[in-house]
Structure formats: structure tokens, C-alpha cells
Amino acid sequence: MSTSESDRERDSERNFGDYGGQYVPEALMPALQELEDAYERYVLTNEDGFMDEFRDRMRDFGGRPTPLQRADRLSERYDREVYLKREDLVHGGAHKLNNALGQVLLAKYMGKERIIAETGAGQHGTATAMAAAHLDVPCEIYMGRTDINRQRPNVYRMRMNGAEVNPVTAGSGTLKEAINETLRDWATTVETTHYVIGSVVGPHPFPKLVRDFQSVIGREAREQIREKAGRLPDSVVACAGGGSNTMGAFHEFVPDEGVDLVAVEAGGSSLEIDEENALAPNSATLSTGTDGVLHGAMTKLLQSGDGQIVESHSVSAGLDYAGVGPELAHLVETGRVKPVSVDDDAALNGFHRLSNLEGIIPALESSHALGYLEEAHDELGEIVVVTVSGRGDKDLETVLEETEKRDLEAAPNVEVFDS
Amino acid sequence: MSGEDRRPPGGEPRNDERGATRPASGDEVTTDSDVEAAIRENHPALISYITAGDPSLEETKAYVEALDRGGADLIELGLPFSEPIAEGPTIQAAINRALDAGTTPRGFFELVDELETEAPLLVMTYYNMILQYGNTEAPRASEEASGARRERSEGLDDANGEAVSGQRPRAKPDVRPFVERAAETGLSGIIVPDLPAEEADPLREACDDHGLDLVFIVAPTTEGDRLETIMSQVSGFAYVQARLGTTGARADVSSATHRSLARLSEYDVPKAVGFGVSEGDHAAEIIEAGADGVIVGSALVDIIAEHSAAGSGTESQNIAQHGADGNTPAAADLEAKARELKRGARRGAGAEDAPEPEHQ
């Protein structure tokens, strides 16, 4: 079949090189077209002042702009200028609100009556519940049963904000099952409901839409570093799960060829895949994944030889996903973004080190970027920007548990507890 | 074509006399599509779905034969994928049982190769399964050749236990090895619930080259230009999704079904309705509303689930329970259900007193 000129044009928009696209059931296609239309009108051309309202709300409700802080002890330790982009200071404690508030507001502009979202660790779920409460839209969050049991405080936060939390019992009861179930809901309720996807994943236009809402991270950081250091950084380092924090931090820097972009993935406990049990003891999709289709997009995946999606793992629940955003996969494929990974131990040390040296408790997700800084600072140039994607209070229980099992150099002595 | 076994002898690929382009809507009375012929000749048609490997490939063989005997005019076989986003709880559970039993594409194709049915067979699976087939470092294509080789349908890895993905980049995914193998085993068509028309070019071209139909789904939300586009690409039949949401047996026929059939009435391609059809009376109502066929999945999968609920679903246990000779209670119930549905469909077409369809 020959495709017409306009089809080809749309193709190039739907994809990032070999990645992206819209691999979803037919029932969802009209909704994606409606969303594309809304994205072009409200986000790209600021129709009805949408972007103005979004920025105002992110300022007053969300607490933007966030600081770019010079980390004095880290700079001394690594003998270079280290700056931290403080997304941990966004309302709710992570960068997730940038996207959640943007999409809930967009849904209102589109006249949608109901919001649904998936969540893994609960960060995107809590951000969406906060945004929905703030904008007064009914909201339901799908969350795997395993995750609900692991993240009780986050579940309660969502309930306090008035969101329904729907347990998903299928499979291993984690993020990918929650996404499956949210897609099923959407296929049923598509005419009245908007699906607030939590990362730069999913079918077009989600990867672009989420990237654009998150790109405020890099836009601010780029201005702030010029102001503070008088020039662009040599490298920007950000942790990567699905990739919303990564794309948010990198997007504005992509045209700056002198700036190295480093995506730090969760190496978990090993980079191997155990095919027999369909397990990957890591979430290093960009480094070790292979091309395939998951959750509506052609991207890099952790999968078996037959194409079954394997269970990923990371000590950090927010990085624990077998896929990754298609645009990020493309930027890795073209060499613009360098994918690296650090293991659970390095992340736990990073978590303790930033807490101890700088008085900032980072999320376990962000701790991967800090773990990489410790391991490879020599390769990062004179000026380094590291994104602290969220705060780590949510992770203290996990960290206590994991630290007891290990001999971590950066962990404090906790003899203060009765043993 | 007549109602004889339409499968090519010896599993040879069928000759494809069809060019790469098809008429948008045919005035043609004859067709070189097995799938379309099966619907037109057995009008009103019963199209059945079960998940291959639930609870084992061996039992699937018996179930397919039972459906064939019961009057199913087309049989869809689900090739299980770990993330079945278009399925409701019933088929999700079947897919999980099939995966737990170690069902692989290789085992699936071996089963299809062995099957001899009067009804043409289609595979229903998700796009990633099609993309990855034959696309591993191990030269699996050569292992596909018949002869002595390890049985892989137990979910075991290569003899050395080495991981075949994740360590080194593989070749780019490609749909052709899957389509070639599908044609070789005598499959007549492919249905991919997560592949909309916009993304279907590579698969459609491969299917055209190998004489397979690529069946598209028309949803209640499909209207205007999108409907035009899809209907211009239909081969075999248009899969009319009766309602929004996922697969699953329901207690009634959705009003969206009637609206969809009305929207499609001007197109001269067979239209079959699925998503929620579970009883003979549903079949009658749908055929009466103008459909050429009904598609039934979850109601059949429910029967299989009931019969394997007692065991944990492992092959050996099930064989111990029922024997492996195909005379399982589930097979008898499936055959009876197919008869009920086929009768319902014929009632809807005004053939109240029609004799049972004669199958061998």
C-alpha cells in the first residue's frame, strides 16, 4: 500500500526514528487523535491561555521554579563544579507533579469528566491525586496489589486527596500490570475519561506531551547554570526509569552538542536476564533492552527471546519498569544520550552520601544519578548538573531494610537502635 | 471452493494469487480468501476463539477438533502474550495459564501444523509476539526444520541455559519470519488487537505476500475517515467490536452493535461481531441485526477454565484427570456450546428448522 504525502508527514510526527508510534486497540485511536489535537492547540499554541494557566498553577500550587543549587561538599569531593536541580522541592516531593498537573488541566480544557492513572511506587498516583483535587476532577488510580502493600503511606495520601485506588491483582501486581489495567479502563470509558500516563511512555502523543510538561526542568536548569556558572554545563546526569525526569532534564539541552547527556538506569543486582523465570534483576532497559512493542510504543524492552515481557527489578520502585520512553530509546540509538547503570548498592550509598554531605535526602531513584557521580565523576567534565528528581522520605523504610542486609560505606552507624 | 478441508496438503504454503492491493470493497462473488469463503459459504458463520496452551497444547488440539465438529466455521487461536491489554479477566486468566504451562510460539506452530480441521484457523496475538519471532541470537529458524530436537514447549531455555536476550543487541524486529511460519503451518489469517491500521503496513505487506488475511477490528468509536481507511484495508472479514472495553462474556447484546452494523451496512465485506457474545440468543440477535458471523471467545474459555479449575493446570495432571485422547469433558462441552451458538446464528438468519450443519 502506498502512503500518501500527508500520511508520511504524520508518520514522522508519530515516531522518533525507529521508535514510538501508536500500537493500541482500535477503540483508543480516536481518543489519541483527540489528544493530538488538544496537544497541538493548547500545549503547542497556547490556545485559550492554557500554558499560561499551567505555568501560573505550577508556580503557586507547585512551587516552581525549583533552585539549581551548587553542592559544595560534592564539588570539593569530586574536584569539579556539581550543581543539583532540586525537583525534590516541587509540591508532593518529586518532579511528577509537572506532568500530572499539566495533563489534568489539559483534560479539563478538553471537557473530560474523569481522570484515570496508573502508579507503581505511588509517586505519579499521589501527584495525579493532588492535581485532581486541586482542579476538582474525579480521579481513579490503578495500582498493583504488591505495590499497594509496599507503599501504604502513598495509598493513604491518594485516598486523602479524594482519589479511588483500584488494586490490580494480575501478574506480579506491579507497574506494568497497573498500566495494562488502566488501558483497559480507558478502552471502556474513552469518551468521557482522560488517561494521565505517568511517564514519557505509551502511544503518540503521550511521549511528547509528557516531555513538554517535564521540559521545564531542563529549561530552568539551562538558564540557572548560565546565570551561576556563566556557561552551559559539560554534562547533565539524570536517573532513568520510564524516562520522564530524564527527558525533562535533557530536552532543552539536546541541541547543545557540547553538553553530554547521561541517563543512569537501575542496574539492580545484575544485568543478566533470567529467561526461565521471566525475570530481569534490573531495570536497565536502555543499556540492555531490545527493540519491541509495549504499552503502545515501539521502544527498548526487557523481554525474553520469544517476546514475553520480563519482570524488572530495582531497589527503587520508581525505576522498576521493563520499558522506557521511545524518544529516549531513539536518543540512545543515535548516540546523543549515553545510557549507564549503577547497581542497588551504589544507589544506596548515593542516598546516604547526599544526606550526609549536603543535608538533602534524595529519592532512591535520584540516588542512582548520585551513585554514578561517585563512580564516574572523572568523565563528566568541569561543570556537572545532576537532577534530584525527588525527595527520599518515602524510601526510608526500604533503605533501613536494605542497609541492614549490606555493608555500605556511606551508611551511618545505627547503634542508637535497640538491637 | 467447497466445504472440504481447505488446508493445503502437507503444510505447504498456499499459492498466493492475490496481488498486493485488494479492491476496497468487492463486487466479486468469488474470493481467494479461505476466511472470507468460510463465512460466505457457511453463512451465518460461527467464529470461535480459544487460547492455545490453556491448559496445555495437547488439550488445545482436542478442543479445536471439538469446536470444528460443533460447527465453528472459523477458529481463532490465541498465542499468549504476557501483557494482553485488550482482554478482560477471562482471557487474561487463560493466557496466564497458557504461559504458566510453558506455551511458546514454537510449540504453538507445531500444534497448528498437526491440526486438521475443516474450519480455517487464524492466530490472534499481540504485535510484539509477531515482531520477535525468529529474532533471537540462537539460529532458531534452522531449528524449526523438522527432525530430532529438544521439545521447547515446556518453557525451558536452550540447553546451555544461556539467556538469549538482554546481553547482546539482537537484529531489528521483523514480522516476516512469523508470517512465513504461519503460512507454512496452514494458518489462514492473523488478528492483532494492538495493531491499528496506521501501524499495519509492514504486517499487511507480509500477509499479502504469503496469502494470509490480516483482520482489522472496527470499534464503536471508529467513524468517518478512520472507518473508510480501515474498510478499504479489510481482508477476510471486518471484526466488529460490539462494545467499548475488553473481551468478556456478557449477559446481553450491546446497542452499539446495532449502530456499528448500520454504519457498516454499505460495505460489501463479511462482518462478524465479537466482544461479549456468549449465548445462542445473542448470536440470533446479532445475525438478525445484519452481521454475517458471530465471534465467541470468553464463553468458550470459561468452559475450559471450569474443567481445569480442579487441577493446577499442568499438562500431566490434566491428562491424568481426563486422559489425552481428546474425549475430555471440556471438549464435549465446547462442542455442545458451538452447536448452541451455531443454531442461534441460523435462527437469526431465519433458518429456524434448518438441520444441523454436517461436519465429519
- As given in the structure block, the three cell numbers for residue B356 are 444441523
Integer-rounded Cα radius of gyration of chain A: 20
Is the pLDDT at B218 greater than 60, yes or no?
yes
- Where are the strands (E) in A269-318, listed by range? 290-294, 297-301
pLDDT confidence bin for B211, thresholds 50/70/90: very high
A31 touches chain B (CB under 8 A): yes
Exposure class string for A260-299: b at 16+ Cβ within 10 A, else e: bbbbbbbbbeebbbbbeebbbbbbbbbbbbbbbbbbbbbb
Rounded Cα distance, B294 and B282, in Å: 9
pLDDT tier at B317 (50, 70, 90 boundaries)?
Answer: low
User: Residues for chain A: how many in total?
Assistant: 419
What pLDDT shows up at residue B11?
Answer: 37
Quickly tell me which residue has 509496599 as its cell.
A150
Q: Which of A22, A35, A199 is nearest to A112 (CA)?
A: A35
Residues of B forming the active site: 76, 87
Per-residue pLDDT averaged across A376-383, rounded? Answer: 98
pLDDT at B329: 86
Q: At what angle do helices A216-229 and A206-214 cross, to 10 degrees?
A: 30
Q: What is the per-residue pLDDT for B315?
A: 54
* Residue B136 phi, psi dihedral angles, 5° rounding: -125, 165
Supply φ then ψ for residue B9, to 5 degrees: -65, 140
How many percent of chain A have pLDDT more than 70?
A: 97
Q: Which member of B129, B223, B245 has the closest CB to residue A307?
A: B129
The pLDDT-based confidence of A260 (bands split at 50, 70, 90) is: very high
Contacts (Cβ under 8 Å, ≥6 apart) of B52: B60, B77, B78, B79, B80, B98, B103, B108, B111
**Lowest-confidence region among A6-20, A67-81, A225-239, A385-399:** A6-20
Residue A418 pLDDT class (50, 70, 90 cuts): low
Q: Does A170 touch chain B (CB under 8 A)?
A: yes
User: Looking at residues A96-111, what average pLDDT do you find?
Assistant: 98
pLDDT in tens, B233-250: 999 999 999 999 999 988
C-alpha cell at B9: 496438503
Residue A12: per-residue pLDDT: 53
Q: Grid coordinates in use for A218?
A: 531542563
Query: What contacts B173, CB < 8 A, 6 or more positions away?
Result: A291, A292, B131, B132, B135
Mean of the pLDDT values across residues B97-104? 96
Task: Report how far residue A325's alpha carbon sits from residue A246's, in angstroms, rounded to the nearest whole number.
Answer: 10
Q: Give the whole-number percent of chain B exceeding pLDDT 90.
A: 68
Give me the catalytic one of A81, A85, A87, A96: A96
State the angle between helix axes of A96-109 and A123-135 in degrees (0 to 180), rounded to the nearest 10: 40
**What mean pLDDT value characterizes chain B?**
82
CB within 8 Å: A25 and B223: no
Q: Do B194 and A289 touch (CB under 8 A)?
A: no
**What integer pLDDT is reported at residue B357 of this predicted model?**
54
* DSSP line for A64-121: PSPPEEE-HHHHHHHTSEEEEEEGGGSTTSBTHHHHHHHHHHHHHHTT--EEEEEESS
Q: Is the pLDDT of residue B9 over 60?
A: no
3-state secondary structure chain B: CCCCCCCCHHHCCCCCCCCCCCCCCCCCCCCCCHHHHHHHHCCCEEEEEEECCCCCHHHHHHHHHHHHHHCCCEEEEECCCCCCCCCCHHHHHHHHHHHHCCCCHHHHHHHHHHCCCCCCEEEECCHHHHHHCCCCCCCHHHHCCCCCCCCCCCCCCCCCCCCCCCCCCCCCCCCHHHHHHHHHCCCCEEECCCCCHHHCHHHHHHHHHHCCEEEEEECCCCCHHHHHHHHHHCCCCEEEECCCCCCCCCCCCCHHHHHHHHHHCCCCCCEEEECCCCCHHHHHHHHHCCCCEEEECHHHHHHHHHHHCCCCCCHHHHHHHHCCCCCCHHHHHHHHHHHHHHHHHHHHCCCCCCCCCCCC
**pLDDT higher than threshold 50 for residue B258:** yes
Contacts of B21 in chain A (CB under 8 A): 1
Name the nearest CA neighbour of B308 among B325, B290, B320, B293: B320
- Contact of A264 with A384, CB cutoff 8 Å: no
CB contact under 8 A, B166 and A307: no
Residue type, B126: Y
Burial of A305 (C-beta count, 10 Å sphere; 0-12/13-18/19+): buried
Inter-CA distances, A165 with A142, B28, B256, B358, Å: 6, 54, 30, 52
B171-183, pLDDT tens digit by residue?
689 999 999 999 9
- Closest-CA residue to A16 (of A257, A253, A334): A334
CB within 8 A of B139, min separation 6: which ones? none
**Could you tell me which of A318, A347, A132, A131 has the C-alpha nearest to residue A242?**
A318
A61: part of which helix (H) or strand (E)? none
Q: Is A389 a catalytic residue?
A: yes
Least-confidence region, from A65-74, A274-283, A321-330, B49-58: A274-283
Mean pLDDT of chain A: 94
d(CA A126, CA A158): 5
pTM metric for this prediction: 0.89
Provide the pLDDT for residue A217.
98
- A96/A105 Cα distance (integer angstroms): 14
Round to whole Å and give the CA distance between B283 and B343: 8
* SS3 category, A23: coil
B128/A303 touch (CB, cutoff 8 Å), yes or no: yes
Taking residues A9-15, report their average pLDDT.
69
Active-site annotation holds for A215: no
Pairing of strands A19-20, B271-274: unpaired
| Cell numbers representing residue A329 in the block | 530509546
d(CA B135, CA B172): 8
B25 band by pLDDT with thresholds 50, 70 and 90: very low
Task: Give tens-digit pLDDT for B137-149.
Answer: 433 333 333 333 3
A9 band by pLDDT with thresholds 50, 70 and 90: low
**Whether the predicted pLDDT of A409 surpasses 90:** yes
Q: Write the burial class of residue A55 (CB in 10 Å: 0-12 exposed, 13-18 middle, 19+ buried).
A: middle
How close B94 comes to chain A (CA, Å)?
Answer: 12
Q: Is the pLDDT of residue B154 over 50?
A: no
Q: Among A19-33, A91-105, A301-315, B309-323, whose mean pLDDT is lowest?
A: B309-323
Res. A273 pLDDT band, cuts 50 70 90: confident
Mapped onto helix, strand or coil, the DSSP state of residue A329 is helix
Stretch among A78-87, A152-161, B303-312, B342-351 having the lowest mean pLDDT: B303-312
Q: Which residue has the cell 542508637?
A: A416
Asked if pLDDT for residue B7 goes beyond 50, the answer is no
* DSSP letter assigned to residue A254: T
pLDDT at site A322:
94
Q: In chain B, how long is the greatest CA-to-CA distance?
A: 63
The catalytically annotated residue of A118, A265, A327, A358 is: A118
Q: Which three cell numbers stand for residue A88?
A: 525534590
Nearest CA to CA, how far is A2 from chain B (Å)?
9
Closest B-chain CA to A24: B194
* Chain B interface includes A109 (CB < 8 A): no
Between A78-92, A236-250, B301-315, the lowest mean confidence (pLDDT) is in B301-315
- In the prediction, which pLDDT does A419 show? 60
Nearest to B195 among A23, A273, A276 (CB): A23
Angle at B309 between CA B305 and CA B315, to 5 degrees: 85
**Is the pLDDT reported for residue B184 higher than 60?**
yes
SS (H, E, C) A365-419: HHHHHHHHHHHHHHHCCCEEEEEECEECHHHHHHHHHHHHCCCCCCCCCCCCCCC
The pLDDT-based confidence of A172 (bands split at 50, 70, 90) is confident
Residue A334 has pLDDT above 80, yes or no: yes
Give the whole-angstrom CA distance, residue B346 versus residue B46: 10
Distance CA B188, CA B183 (A): 7
The pLDDT value recorded for residue A3 is: 44
Give the full edge-to-edge strand order of the sheet including A114-119: A164-168, A139-144, A114-119, A193-195
The CA-based angle A143-A147-A152, given to 5 degrees, is 95
Out of A18, A25, A30, closest to residue B226 by CB: A30
Q: How far is CA B293 from CA B63, B248, B266, B344, in A?
A: 21, 18, 17, 11
Put simply, whether A304 touches B (Cβ < 8 Å) is yes
